[in-house]
Every structure is written in structure tokens, then in C-alpha cells.
Structure 1
């Protein structure tokens, strides 16, 4: 039996879905069950192997849609600059080192230059090379142990747009080509894709996805788990054969404000499998509360009782206790720096609370699109001495140094960082929202759940004040020790051995 897990993309600032897959991979390895992790998005910034390895996936476990049709494997970058230099255009040039990971060849005779990007993890190995002519990006080559694909670009409404990608085999022959067309509008979105193979053409990525599912080497007893179905849903359902199919629910699955007694508005990420739930062998939620809610809704709106199991998307290998005293009055928060995480609320709350907790500090771990805005907010409040952006770090042994955890998110399907925080005995502060906060924070026992308005106008200033009040209450009323003890009690249910047992029971039943 092999478990095939299907997702879209992965990155350096991955979402909880990728971390959930990473945890599942560890559990399946412990159980001795082979697993494959499929990614279907084009990934151009870095070698996919570096990003999957960073989340502890084994190279032979990873299947990338765009490499599936070539004879390259998932592997690290291994070519040096001198290995690929013979393929560079001829002519006199000067070399400029822009940064440790970036170097430019500037040609003297005309307006041409190329930029070499080196691997983040193998810093003397080439990841990609961009070619610019007359101020226009015309080609980008991507490398591992050879050139795996090239992108060809042309100006489109003032920007370089990729119009074709050519994917190669190890001998340099073309495995297939992808052609892209664009609509002329404000957002310049990709209108359509065409895939040309030596023996045929696919006229959309959906057609390619269906072909991929047909060629996936599934054997009797294999199980398919869909973590994301946005592109692959129809292809998976159509070509699953007689293999068992499961769908994982990673977030809130419906819109409460747009649901009434007669109709429910599903989260669009899950709408397709929910409407075809009679073809799904099992759904996996992260928490018991979400399982109960989903089961009730399926029966009410669809008159169906599908198999739903609650298996946390993460686990704790052990409870981590500090070897020395925790930093006093030190909060941390860990997440993607994205708008929905509301790190800005947390920053403002800490600034306010410091008036009563004079040595209060906050460390923010993670990266994302909000990083600059949060950095600017810290500067505006002259808080740089006690609020720090710490970037993306492996957090296992870091939580236990702190004396509290704070989360501003208004929705967490599970909350891996919440689990890891209670596993290190941190008192918790967060909003009373489904499902992660309600799972890991027991109000008045290991922290505080702040009431969140159900509909109506959101008063962010009032919420920030509530956060500041709970910070003051936590540290000035001396609840830290007793809250810490109760966090460890909650964490007991999420030890790896218990989660392994749940996963093993499910797979045996299937």
C-alpha cells in the first residue's frame, strides 16, 4: 500500500497545508507505510527539492507534475558556474557580484546581460540563469544536474510575460512544451495553456491533470488523499479507479454569515468534493469540533452521512520543557505574515500592554507579504527595542524559552504553531474562533480566549485593547505557572504515538 497525497504548490513560506503533509509523512514513515507527495503548480523561484527537503520530505517521495513527464528526478542543484558557462553567449563581458547568491555578466558590445542565481542551500551551485536583451527578459534556464526547463518571455503591456516553457530530458531532448496566452486587462491573468508532447497535445491544464492521473502508477490497495482539489478535483474523481479516496479539510469549510436553515455556502476549496461526497471514502478534519459540525451539516443539507474522522494534522514527538528559566514577560507568535493572521493587532496590543508590563517583549517568527508593513508599524511605534521580526526558523526547541504565546488570527483550521506552543507549555492568548484556538486554548485554564464578534461591524481597536488586557492579566496576576502546567495536559493528546494510532486505525479500516 502506498498513500498518494495531492497538493498544489510549496514555498519557503509554506502554508499549514504543507506543514500538515510534512507531519503526515513522518507518521507514515514511522508506521512503515510508503507515501508519495504530489505537487501540481509550476515552481520557478527555487528548485522544488530545496523547498520539499526543508519540510523533511524525502526526494523519492516527491512527484512534481512538471517533472513527471521527463526523466529528471527530484534532486538538488549540482552544477557549478563553470559547468554551464560554455552555453553563455559569446562576447566580451564584465562580471559583477551583486550578492552572495547572485552574479551578473554584462556584455560590452551591446545592451545584453545575464544573471546567475545560486541555490539557497548549495550556495556554489547554479539554480537558474536569466538572459536580458535590450532591457527585456527573453529567457530563463533552470538547473539541477542538468537544464530541466527553459522559460521564454516577451514584453506584454510593459512587463515580461512567459509565453512558452520547454521541459527537457537528461540528454537535452524536449520532453514537452507549455504555451501560455494572456488576456489584455488590468491584472494580466493567464488565459489558457496548451501542452505539446511528441505524441499529442493537451489543450488545458485540466486535460494534462487527467492524463497525469491516468499515468500515475497506482497499484491495488493504494490510497489517495487530496489536500487541495482546486485543479485536480475533477481529474482525481474521474480517474481514481477503485482506489480509496480521502479529502483533508485544512480550514473553515463554510461561510457562517451566508448560511441559513435551507442553504449552506461551502468554502470554494472544498465545494467540489463536498458536492461529490458520495464518491469520497473518508474526510479528515483536524479537530473533533469540526468533525461534529461537518457531520451535522452533511446530514442537514445533503441527507448524507459520509465517513469523517478527526486526525490532527500535526503531532508532538515529545513535550518540551525548559532547561533554564523562561524569558520573563516574553511573548512569541509564529505564522505566515499574511493579512488574515492580523499580526498588526498583536503588535499594537503589545505596544499598549507595555504601559503596564514594562519589560514586555514580542518575537514574531515567519515570513510573508505583510513583512514590510509590520516592520513599518514597529518603527512607527518606536517599538524596535522590544518587538523583533525573527524570520523563518525551525521552532521545535525555541518555544520553550518564552513565557507566553499570542495569536491574532481570526480562523485556524488547526494551528500547528498553537499545538507546538502548548507542547512547550506556553500560556496562550487568542480569539475565540474555530477551530484551532478552541482546541488549544481553554479559557482561564491555560490562557485566554477573547470573544470575537459574530457578524456586525468589527471594532479592531476594541479587540486590540482586549488583547492588551489579557497580556496584562497573564503577567501581572501571576497565572504563568498554572497555565503552563495545563498547556502540557492539553498537549498530551497530540503526542505522535497517539496520532499514529489514529492514522493506523483509519488505514486498516480502509
Structure 2
């Protein structure tokens, strides 16, 4: 029996979906459940094993669509500059660069080897240039698994072909690319789209009635998964709010486009998994009201806690706030900065540290300067947060939608007081108003200054409360999310599905 989780991409600044998968992998290992995590996006900037290892996946658990048809395993890079130099043309000059080395050859031909890091000398990819034109990129893990070929067009390098290899260097298949058109040529087969490539992989996995498929991302691949599931049970993981409230009325509902395919084809989905009881109950009501159906829905938190972090409360930095998330617009971190700047007038020692990376960083830096908060609001970048929360007194979230909120769970697991808006689904799950923090009323039609003022007043009120008592209530809430409790939920769901008719 194998549980397959199907996603699209993964990166260094991954979303909650990838973190949820990483937590799931930990649980399955403890249960002794064989798990495979399938990624279907093309990843060019990094060996996929470095990205998956970064989140705690085991190499043996990863299936990547593009190397699935070769004998290359997903494995950390070990192909070095020394290995590369053995296969390069005669080298006229070698120039060290930042995380790269440039090699100059004869006849205006040169190559740049991009490294995992300078100290290891492990090669991720090599780009070859003839004159001023990029002509080829070679990708490496423990060997050379792919080449890309380019031709000049309108003063730019145009990708027209990828070739994938076995470990011994023999070609397995080619991907021919012409704009949005992709053709995959095998020795005995031609596939006319990436959809057909995905179908080929799904069929070769030969799913049995003892297997379970979990769909983490269905966009552009949901139909292929459902039509090529074999005899496996199929479930959908609902990671976010599943419908648009503004476009829903008594007669119709607008599903979130990320889940629309699975929701509209509920007869082909064996079960759904939500992260909170609040979302499960709402989905059940909506399916019955709008579709006349009663689907099987399990509540299983997308994360779990190995332990509760319990330092002496006196060791925490006084008047310290922390928040952690992608630096994305829906997190409204600019509201948090402005709210802290206002609250600072009543709480002179107040500080806020923001952890995470993302596209909004430059904008947030500008907001910090605008409100003059450089001395007490800091962007800390992406870090492993396990042992960081416990140094703070309170956690602040201005997000207006959290399907679960892994950082909320981690914060209560470190005993932080909590403050956030009363929005679906994570905030009311982890914030008990007046007990472990403050849950603020949220009006989506209100102005930004109104939201900021509401949050600012709440911060002042929070730090006027009994924070040690609040901390104990957070630990009480967190206790329901220990590894053992979540593992039991997964075990029950898996056994139920495998024994359902």
C-alpha cells in the first residue's frame, strides 16, 4: 500500500501546501505508511532534491515527472567541478565567480558552471555560450540528467528542445518546444502535450486498490489524475478557503478555482480532507444545499507538533511580537507594520520581527521607512522557525484567510499570546478570544486605516493582559496537535478508505 501525494512545484520559499506535505511525510514515516510525493512542474534553477530535502522529505519519497522515465533517482548533487572539467574542451582560462565558475575555450566559446555552493564545488547546471548566444544548458545531480538546447531569435535565446538521459548517458526522450506547444518523443511513442506525459506516468505507476492518491494541487492536472487513477482511492486536500463568499448566494456557489474541478466532479472523489472542523462543517452544509450530496470529509490538521516549547516565560523578550509567512499581499503585513507603529506610542518597548520571504519585501521595506519603524520592525528573512517562536511573547497575524495556518499552530505550540482577525478558518481554530489572545471582528468592506486602528488597539490591550496565563491557554490549545494525535487521525482515515466499498 502506498499513499501518493500529487503536487506541481516546490521552491526555497514554498507555500503552505508544501509545508503541509512535509508534515504529512513525517506522520506517514511514524505510521510506517509508504508515501510518495509527486511533483509535476519543470524545475530549472535547482536540483529538486535540494528543495525537497530542505523541507525534510526523504529522497526515496520523491517522484519527479521529468526524470520518472529515466533511471536517475532523486538524489542530492554530487557531480563536482573536477568531474565537469574531465569532460570539457581544453580550458584556456578559469574565472571564479559568485557561486559559479566560468571557463573560457577557444573560438569565442565559453561556459559557466553554477554551483550549489562555493565550498562544495557541486555543479547544478552548466550554460554554454558561443559568441553572444546561449546554445545549451546541462543539468546535473549525481550525473548529467538533462540538456536544454537554444537558438537565437529576435536577439534572445529561444529554448527549442530538452533531452533527458539515463545514468549511462543514453538518451531516453526528447521534449520539443515551440512556444506553448510541447511534443515528447520516446523511442516507441510520441506524446503531443505535457498532459499526455503526465498520463503516461500515472499509467506506469499502475495504481492498485491498496493505493491512495491525495491531490494537493489539481490545477491543469485534475482530470488526468481522476481518469488514470486505476483502482486507487482518491482524496482531495483542501488547503485554503474553498469558495468565494462575495460571489455566493442562496441559489449558487462559486467554488475556489483551485478546487473547482474536484468539487464539480464529487462523484469521482472518494473523500475530502480539511484541516479544521470549521471548514468541514461548512463544506458539508454547502454540498448538501447546492449539490444535494453528502461527501466523505475528514478533518486532519495539515501540521503537527513534535513537542511543546516551554521556556521560562521571563526569558522571553518583553513586548515582542513575531509573525511568519510568505511576504505576500494576502498576508497584509503592511497593516501589521502600521498597527505596530501606532501601538508603539502607548508601548515604547514594542517590537515586531517578520520572518519569511516573497515578492512584497521591497514594499514592506518602504512601509517601514514611511512610518519610521526601522529600529523596531525587522524583516528577518526565511528561517527554520522551530526554536525561534519561544523567544517572543505574542504572535500577530493580519491575514484575512487561513485554511489552517501552520505558523499559528507553531506559535501556540511555543505558548505565544495570539492576536488576529476573526476570519475563516485558522484564526478561530487557534485563537480563543479573551483566553489565549484576541480575535478581532473583521469587516471586509472596512477601510485599511480602520483595520490598522483595530489591530493597533488590540496590540495595546493584549500587552495589558495576563500574558503568562494567556501563554498557558495557548499550550492547552496546542496539545491537540501533537504528532500522536494527528497520526491517529491519518491512520483512521487511511484504514477507513481502504475498507470502504
| TM class by smaller structure | over 0.9
Residue 463 of structure 1 corresponds to which residue in structure 2? 451
2:415 corresponds to 1:425? yes
2:128 corresponds to 1:139? no
Q: Taking structure 1 as reference, are residues 167 and 404 closer, same or farther at Cα in structure 2, changes over 3 Å only?
A: same
Residue 97 of structure 2 corresponds to which residue in structure 1? 98
Aligned with 2:480 (options 493, 497, 500): 493
2:499 corresponds to 1:506? no
Matches within 5 A, 1:351-390: 351-390=341-380
Residue 54 of structure 1 corresponds to which residue in structure 2? 54
Q: Is 1:20–1:314's contact at 8 Å kept on the other side of the alignment?
A: yes
Q: Is 1:131–1:140's contact at 8 Å kept on the other side of the alignment?
A: yes
SS of equivalent to 1:266:
coil
Q: What is the CA distance between 1:240 and its match in structure 2?
A: 1.0
Residue 198 of structure 2 corresponds to which residue in structure 1? 209
Residue 188 of structure 1 corresponds to which residue in structure 2? none
The TM-score normalised by the length of structure 1 is 0.93
Q: What is the CA distance between 1:450 and its match in structure 2?
A: 2.3
Unmatched 5+ residue regions in structure 2? none
Q: What is the CA distance between 1:478 and its match in structure 2?
A: 3.1
2:410 corresponds to 1:416? no
Point out 4+ residue stretches in structure 1 off by more than 4 angstroms. Answer: 106-109, 155-159
Q: What is the CA distance between 1:109 and its match in structure 2?
A: 5.7
Q: Is 2:94–2:101's contact at 8 Å kept on the other side of the alignment?
A: no
- 1:256-281 C-alpha deviation (Å, 9 max, x unpaired): 10011111111111111111111111
Matches within 5 A, 1:260-339: 260-323=249-312, 325-339=315-329
Q: Is 1:92–1:109's contact at 8 Å kept on the other side of the alignment?
A: no
Q: Give the whole-Å Cα distance in 1 for the aligned partners of 2:120 and 2:442.
A: 46
SS of equivalent to 2:44:
coil
Unmatched 5+ residue regions in structure 1? 183-190
- 1:19-73 C-alpha deviation (Å, 9 max, x unpaired): 1111111111111111111111111111100111111111101100011011100
Q: Give the whole-Å Cα distance in 2 for the aligned partners of 1:122 and 1:410.
A: 43
Residue 218 of structure 1 corresponds to which residue in structure 2? 207
Q: Give the whole-Å Cα distance in 1 for the aligned partners of 2:259 and 2:120.
A: 40
Q: Give the whole-Å Cα distance in 1 for the aligned partners of 2:137 and 2:413.
A: 45
Residue 242 of structure 2 corresponds to which residue in structure 1? 253
Q: Give the whole-Å Cα distance in 2 for the aligned partners of 1:407 and 1:251.
A: 16
What is the aligned-residue RMSD (CA, Å)?
Answer: 1.8
Q: What is the CA distance between 1:121 and its match in structure 2?
A: 9.8
Q: Taking structure 1 as reference, are residues 460 and 153 closer, same or farther at Cα in structure 2, changes over 3 Å only?
A: farther
Aligned with 1:342 (options 332, 336, 345): 332
Residue 432 of structure 2 corresponds to which residue in structure 1? 442
- 1:212-268 C-alpha deviation (Å, 9 max, x unpaired): 110014344111111111132111111112211111000010101001111111111
Q: What is the CA distance between 1:136 and its match in structure 2?
A: 3.3
Q: Answer with 266-275 or 173-182: which moved more.
A: 173-182
Residue 241 of structure 1 corresponds to which residue in structure 2? 230
Q: Taking structure 1 as reference, are residues 142 and 291 closer, same or farther at Cα in structure 2, changes over 3 Å only?
A: same
Q: Is 2:91–2:103's contact at 8 Å kept on the other side of the alignment?
A: no
Q: Give the whole-Å Cα distance in 2 for the aligned partners of 1:30 and 1:250.
A: 23
The TM-score normalised by the length of structure 2 is 0.95
Q: Give the whole-Å Cα distance in 1 for the aligned partners of 2:156 and 2:299.
A: 47
Q: Give the whole-Å Cα distance in 2 for the aligned partners of 1:415 and 1:343.
A: 15
Residue 482 of structure 1 corresponds to which residue in structure 2? 469
Q: What is the CA distance between 1:391 and its match in structure 2?
A: 1.5
Q: Give the whole-Å Cα distance in 1 for the aligned partners of 2:205 and 2:337.
A: 47
- 1:378-414 C-alpha deviation (Å, 9 max, x unpaired): 2343322222222221111111110111112121110
Q: Give the whole-Å Cα distance in 1 for the aligned partners of 2:168 and 2:241.
A: 47
Q: What is the CA distance between 1:158 and its match in structure 2?
A: 5.2
- 1:421-465 C-alpha deviation (Å, 9 max, x unpaired): 0111111111221111121112222112222224x3x41122112
- 1:261-306 C-alpha deviation (Å, 9 max, x unpaired): 1111111111111111111111000000100111111111111111
Q: Give the whole-Å Cα distance in 1 for the aligned partners of 2:423 and 2:155.
A: 44
Residue 79 of structure 2 corresponds to which residue in structure 1? 79
SS of equivalent to 2:419:
strand
Q: Taking structure 1 as reference, are residues 84 and 408 closer, same or farther at Cα in structure 2, changes over 3 Å only?
A: same
Q: Taking structure 1 as reference, are residues 318 and 94 closer, same or farther at Cα in structure 2, changes over 3 Å only?
A: closer
